[in-house]
Amino acid sequence: MDSTKYVLDHFDDFFVVFFEKNNKANKLVILKDKFTIDAKEGDLLEVNINKEKSGYDFKILNEVTDDARERVLQLINEMNRK
């Protein structure tokens, strides 16, 4: 089963919208009721299409997400010092 890394972009009324990590042109939109984990906007997830269950399997990549957030915070702090 192939997995792809997506960034959770936003939630809207009935859908969850993701963009592929290294290809922002590739967007994934799924129904909220198929989104089975507690993730928040900006989280990096590994997404597998599970054909047996007619759905998706999600895994939050916490370590990668936390590292990216830390780098962004460091950049913001450096910009504020200038």
Through-space distance between the first and last CA atoms of the chain, rounded to whole angstroms = 47
**Domain of 59: which CATH number?**
2.40.50
Residues in the chain: 82
Domain with 11 in it: 3-81
pLDDT of residue 31: 92
Which element (helix H / strand E) includes 45? strand 44-50
Which phi and psi (to 5°) does residue 45 adopt? -130, 150
pTM comes to 0.73
The answer to whether 47 and 18 are in contact (CB under 8 A) is: yes
Render each residue's pLDDT in the chain as its tens digit; 82 residues.
578 999 999 999 999 999 999 898 999 999 998 888 889 998 999 998 877 777 888 999 987 666 777 777 788 888 888 7
The answer to whether 43 and 60 are in contact (CB under 8 A) is: yes
